[in-house]
Chain A
Amino acid sequence: DTEVTQTPKHLVMGMTNKKSLKCEQHMGHRAMYWYKQKAKKPPELMFVYSYEKLSINESVPSRFSPECPNSSLLNLHLHALQPEDSALYLCASTEGGYTGELFFGEGSRLTVL
């Protein structure tokens, strides 16, 4: 099983809503990532969890709140988002370290109204 599963695939929310994006992997990987990708742009790193601890936060606004409940799950809690936060949010995992292959999910496409 070499999949990273993301739910939901599509999400539309208002600026006052609270929602969550979920990511799951069963490859035994110890590092999990959240990326944000705008149309026709490369993925931008948001957060990295290593061994279930937050190791990198790329100065992401606090309206995005990551959570890693266990080594297989990664959540991204969303609150009071802005329309410019509309994007494709990609989850990825690696065995550990940055030289290994990043396994990406298909992404959650978020639209903020």
Chain B
Amino acid sequence: AQSVTQLGSHVSVSEGALVLLRCNYSSSVPPYLFWYVQYPNQGLQLLLKYTTGATLVKGINGFEAEFKKSETSFHLTKPSAHMSDAAEYFCAVTLSGNTPLVFGKGTRLSVIA
């Protein structure tokens, strides 16, 4: 079975501060990992994904994530938060690409001026 756990349903940071959103996965086979963002009243948009190869993945809007197999983690980071980053963030996993994505419960990011 595959699953993904996002630690913290709500994270609040100051503008300009580091953003760290945590995601741990459970998979018995190599996972494909994704981060999606959802702004209010919109659909989801892909931020970045890891399939194979380089474990540090860069995405849109200055976000990046590192796949750490030993820690079964895929945490999302951004060096400096911007007000426009306030949104819901979902980590998702698929088993070797053969099954539909399973989404984590989401983390709501608030950015304080």
Contacts and interface: CB of A to CB of B under 8 A. Distances in A.
Interface of A: 4, 33, 40-43, 45, 48, 56, 90, 92, 97-99, 101-102, 104-107
Nearest to A101: B46
A11 B43 CA distance: 17
A98 B32 contact: yes
Given A42-B105, A42-B106, A98 B94 contact: yes
Interface of B: 32, 36, 41-46, 49, 51, 90, 94, 97-101, 103-106, 108
A45 B44 CA distance: 13
Scoring B41, B98, B100 by chain A CB atoms within 10 A of each residue's CB, the highest score goes to B100
Contact of A97 (B42, B43, B97, B105): B97
A98 B97 contact: yes
Contacts of B90: 42-43
Contacts of A45: 100-101
Given A40-B106, A42-B104, A106-B43, 9 more contacts: A33-B100, A42-B105, A43-B44, A45-B100, A45-B101, A90-B43, A99-B32, A107-B41, A107-B42
Given A98-B97, A99-B32, A107 B43 contact: yes
Contacts of B97: 97-99
Contacts of A41: 105-106
A38 B110 CA distance: 20
A76 B12 CA distance: 37
B60 to A, nearest CB: 11
B98 A98 contact: yes
B100 to A, nearest CB: 5
Contacts of B108: 40
A56 B99 CA distance: 10
